[in-house]
Structure 1
Amino acid sequence: MSVPATRPGARHHDIVIVGGGLVGASLAIALDGLGLDVAMVEAAAAGALPAVFDQRNLSFADATCNALANLGVWRLLRTPPGPIRRIHVSRRGDFGRVELDARDYGREAFGQVVVASDFGEALEARLAELRNLTRYRPARFIDTHVGGDARTLRISDGDGEHQLSTRLLVGADGTESMVRKALGIAAQRQDYGKVLFVARMRCGRAPDGSAYERLGDDGPTALLPRGDRHYGVVHAVPANDADAVAALDDAAWCARIQDAFGWRAGRFLSADSRSRYPAQQVLADGLIAPRGVVVGNAAQTIHPIGAQGFNLGLRDALTLVECIAASLVDAGSDAMLQRYAQRREEDRSRTIAFSDGLARIGMNPSPLLRPLRSLGMAAIAEIDAVQSLLVGGAMGYRGDVPALCREVVR
């Protein structure tokens, strides 16, 4: 049910999710079937997708693909995804590389590449099928306070301010989360000094299922195989150079990517419009507060190298649902929240460390690091146990894995 945020008085819901993006919408879908009264506060108006659902490319780990199939979202994708059958990692100026093939691990693919706008439309179609969800949109979260066994929150729309109450408030409202701040959870910020450009590009050779991560002093250049015979390109540049790079014409842009990446995918022929995003890490000091929790980018925004952001956020959402399902007497109890935080600790800390470490080591231009990096690449290429650990994490099987991620329920 979709309603404007104009109801008089405080309306009660068992759970209120602030944020209707990738993780917030996925959480609402996963909660369906628990018999709870769930509400979602969304900035976007009915009929409009949130800005996050643009032309960027989302790399879904195998565990994420399983979960989205189980949630009924995968079947609603209009555009075929692009399978990631091989992963190739190298660094400009270093010897050694890592090459992984899904067939060596008994898999058809490590994951799939989906365009964010396609995913947004699939989520919206699935949300429309839910019967126990109230959607307040367009509406904006203002603040919250806790009292007894409930939280009261204020939201606003074009007609003024309104109150809701809930047993559990979930902040899924992104990197600059207002819910996180209102819950009193501090966050630590790391600016990598880079800007990421995202574009769809056509090469002389169509994608064959290979995903590339080419590291360099300025950051990574990644190529992801889309399902439309194009590559999704992510290219990092120093923040001071971002305006100049944004002003490049298509020919100059293609030449820049060719120089940064090389010729493994053939000649870059054309590019669509480019989007730009800051490369940053923002980590919440904690995940929970009395009758409140943050998930997804509100809990941790990580460097996109390794493409772990949404995959980690979805595992936040699914783990939270499992903890709520085991505590239906009170969906926002302290015991439930503590259990959630404990279950997320290993996956979260290991994924953050992997992403941040790869970003820092890959960008460090020190000549002293080059032989160490090269030896590390060679070791990964030769040691099966190291490869298996890397592959398991990349596919989303790290730490306490939610049940919906493990396999598709037929």
Structure 2
Amino acid sequence: MNPSGSPVCGSVMIVGGGLVGASLAIALDAAGVAATLVETAAPRADAQPSYDERNLALARATVNGLDAIGVWQHAAARATPIRHIRVSRAGEFGSARIDADKQGVDALGWTLPARELGAALLRRLDACTRLTRLAPATLSALEPLAGGWRAQVNTVDGARRIDTPLLVGADGTGSFVRTQLGIDAERHDYRQTLFVCTVTPERDHANRAFERFADAGPIALLPLAERRCGLVLTVAADEADAVAAMDDAAFIALAQQRFGWRLGRLSRPGRRHPYAIHRVAAAQLIAPRAVLVGNAAQTVHPIGAQGFNLGLRDALTLAELVAAQADPGNAAMLARYASQRAPDREGTMAMSHGLVQLACLPQPLLAPLRSLALLACDRLPPLQRALARRGMGFRGTPPRAVLERVP
């Protein structure tokens, strides 16, 4: 049976209560659309698997969107503005600088611990009036109906059958919804592992974010409160166990060697967390009365910090389109969603993948070209402006929520 046709009764069902799924639920509630959110973890920030120890770099458009749906007021006090971005490559002469004042804004973005954003989302979820939250709960089966889907959801009170006119998969890289819909995904193993932690630099970061490329992979330092920085260190996957086993002194020495001395000596590393890096791209975003958002639709390399930023634009675009429909899962709306998201999605995925392939390849013949490209970004205002706008999240046709607060 095809789930197209007249909609079944019921609310939009969002499977996955992480950062993107929760944001979508809030955006739908703010737009007056009823939704059911299926979360695998109990509704506590310290229990959510996606509300972890990472420090998120939130693009300007992302903060605009979070502000529009009433989340940012709960997180702003813990956020640190990024007013300068510095990009370089180890051993090569080119570098690029992007400054907020030259772009006519007070900040290019903000950094925020993932747990703080998770806590802010949970506070905003508590104020939703059109949202049903099932947590802890898991989706165990899907059955197509004329006009929607019938979902079997296992909760602490037993199994429930719920009908929905629109099923949203926001359940992460290994999406169960994507698999049940029969949507293939392209996978690429970068054979890299990311280590994240906080460090204290000798010199004040002065609201600067650094991204430095090398043969071994990128390393980034993000400005945080109390003069600390979020460290993002990439190593080859076959070196991950050795790096994980390092004591603090050896780990800091590695980070210092990879990053250099721009902020003086690094010290006091926090608890380290490793993440294997893969690229996963769904072959399509939509199916009859179903749609994928966030990491379920695309998981990108963390270079450039675009993962959640891209996923939030998915969520806000979908909420905007659903709110304008009497039937939240109609085929024309879903097709428009896929079309509207394509330039942003494809451009961001191509950028992140291309940067890894180009900026981290150990090929000496590429060095002059890379340096010249960075110099062009630094010295040519139109090019710098275009890159800054994309970096701030204004790519393709962004949802209205991220535009309304742009100075």
1:98 pairs with one of 96, 99, 102: 96
The C-alpha deviation readout for 1:279-331, integer Å capped at 9, x for no partner, is 1110000000011000000000000101111111000001101111221x100
The C-alpha deviation readout for 1:232-272, integer Å capped at 9, x for no partner, is 00000000000110111111111111000000111001101
* Percent identical: 48
The C-alpha deviation readout for 1:143-163, integer Å capped at 9, x for no partner, is 212221121111213454321
Tell me the CA shift for residue 207 of structure 1: 2.1
Please give the residue correspondences for 1:101-250 in structure 2 after superposition, counting only pairs within 5 Å. Answer: 101-250=99-248
Is 1:36 matched with 2:19?
A: no
The C-alpha deviation readout for 1:205-249, integer Å capped at 9, x for no partner, is 232110000101111000000123210000000000001101111
Range that drifts further, 27-36 or 336-345: 27-36
Task: Give the TM-score, by structure 1 length.
Answer: 0.95
1:43 counterpart letter in structure 2: T
Stretches of structure 2 lacking an aligned partner (at least 5 in a row): 1-7
CA distance in 1, matches of 2:207, 2:335: 41
- SS of the aligned residue for 2:23 comes to helix
The C-alpha deviation readout for 1:134-191, integer Å capped at 9, x for no partner, is 1111111112122211211112134543211100000000000000111111100011
2:350 aligns with 353
Is 1:14 matched with 2:8?
A: no
1:376 aligns with 373
Contact 1:61 1:112 in 2 (8 A): yes
CA distance in 2, matches of 1:35, 1:199: 39
Contact 1:78 1:122 in 2 (8 A): no
Tell me the CA shift for residue 34 of structure 1: 3.4
Contact 2:33 2:323 in 1 (8 A): no
1:334 aligns with 331
Query: How much is the aligned-residue C-alpha RMSD, in angstroms?
Result: 1.5
2:24 aligns with 27
CA distance in 2, matches of 1:381, 1:213: 14
2:64 aligns with 66
1:389 aligns with 386
Contact 1:18 1:172 in 2 (8 A): yes
1:3 aligns with none
Contact 1:202 1:270 in 2 (8 A): yes
CA distance in 1, matches of 2:383, 2:405: 27
Contact 2:289 2:331 in 1 (8 A): yes
Contact 2:30 2:69 in 1 (8 A): no
CA distance in 2, matches of 1:140, 1:81: 32
Tell me the CA shift for residue 89 of structure 1: 0.4
The C-alpha deviation readout for 1:361-394, integer Å capped at 9, x for no partner, is 1210011111111111122122112111110100
1:7 aligns with none
Tell me the CA shift for residue 12 of structure 1: 5.4
- Aligned residue pairs total 399
Stretches of structure 1 lacking an aligned partner (at least 5 in a row): 1-10
1:31 counterpart letter in structure 2: L
Tell me the CA shift for residue 340 of structure 1: 0.5
2:263 aligns with 265
Range that drifts further, 158-167 or 277-286: 158-167
CA distance in 2, matches of 1:140, 1:284: 22
2:361 aligns with 364
CA distance in 2, matches of 1:268, 1:368: 32
CA distance in 2, matches of 1:285, 1:409: 33
Tell me the CA shift for residue 79 of structure 1: 4.5
Range that drifts further, 28-37 or 259-268: 28-37
Tell me the CA shift for residue 351 of structure 1: 0.7
Is 1:405 matched with 2:399?
A: no
2:302 aligns with 304
- SS of the aligned residue for 2:129 comes to coil
CA distance in 1, matches of 2:57, 2:131: 28
- SS of the aligned residue for 1:191 comes to strand
CA distance in 2, matches of 1:146, 1:379: 53
Range that drifts further, 227-236 or 287-296: 227-236
CA distance in 2, matches of 1:37, 1:77: 25
CA distance in 1, matches of 2:127, 2:67: 15
Pair 1:321–1:20, CA change in 2 (3 A):
same
CA distance in 1, matches of 2:251, 2:10: 50
Contact 2:167 2:290 in 1 (8 A): yes
1:290 counterpart letter in structure 2: P
CA distance in 1, matches of 2:157, 2:124: 29
2:3 aligns with none
CA distance in 2, matches of 1:146, 1:158: 25
Tell me the CA shift for residue 403 of structure 1: 0.7
2:52 aligns with 54
CA distance in 2, matches of 1:270, 1:258: 12
1:315 pairs with one of 313, 316, 321: 313
Tell me the CA shift for residue 409 of structure 1: 9.5
- SS of the aligned residue for 1:272 comes to coil
Contact 2:285 2:338 in 1 (8 A): yes
